[in-house]
Amino acid sequence: MISKKLKHDPYNLIITGVGGQGNVMSSRIIGNMLSSSGFYVTIGETFGASQRGGSVMSHVRVSSKNVLSPQIPLGMAHMVVSLEPVEAIRVLSSYGNPDVKVICNTQPTHPIGVISGRLDYPSQEKIEKSLKDLSSRTWLFNATNIAMGIGDPIFANIIMAGALSAAKELPLDKNNFKTSMETQFSADKIKQNLMAFDHGINMVNSQ
């Protein structure tokens, strides 16, 4: 029943961000879209204490063959989608490799150490340069600002999902998304979500 082929099998996607940004939601949406296309999907994530402002990361693994370990081996990510720029770098240092691709929200969330002034938050330029250095392809845009425009920073998750679909790394498309939304949300919510998804597509297509 799988009609589409994966670029890599298994395909290892990491979605990262900061506790409270709605990471879990992103990984679920993307996971559901792929699973309903017939792939084996394994999502590894933790929540609980780590939610309280800490770094969070979901491993989404896609295969046409079998169930996989919920943890990606080090250095073996194909794509990193990050809701926070510094978190993207953190993930790359463990799971990155020269071929990895990155889609990253540029809106920083300052850790307590930065707020308290004891640690420095890197400049936008430094982040961009680092991400480009550590990946084969990078898409950067401020998804939080766009999401605020739609009405809630939480839409950043959907924007990132849209962007991921446009990066054409995984067999994801808008119809896919629409179907999966329809099973979960009411009509007005779906409209906002589709708008967010489109924004994500545009951000990638314009870069």
By CB under 8 A, name the binding residues for other proteins.
1, 18-20, 28, 31-32, 35, 40-50, 52-55, 67-76, 86-87, 89-90, 92-93, 96-98, 107, 109-122, 126-127, 130, 133-134, 144, 148, 153
Closest approach, Cβ 162 to other proteins, in A, equals 20
Beta bridge partners of 80: 14, 102
3-state secondary structure of 149: helix
Q: Which is nearer to other proteins, 106 or 130 (CB)?
A: 130
Q: Which residues contact 188 (CB under 8 A, 6 or more apart)?
A: none
Closest approach, Cβ 93 to other proteins, in A, equals 4
Q: Which is nearer to other proteins, 29 or 163 (CB)?
A: 29
Question: Is the backbone peptide bond immediately before 153 cis, with ω within 30 degrees of 0?
Answer: no
Closest approach, Cβ 128 to other proteins, in A, equals 11
3-state secondary structure of 197: helix
Q: Which is nearer to other proteins, 88 or 195 (CB)?
A: 88
Closest approach, Cβ 205 to other proteins, in A, equals 26
**Nearest C-alpha neighbor of 81 from the set 129, 137, 35, 133:** 137
Four-point Cα dihedral 140, 9, 18, 182, nearest 10: 90
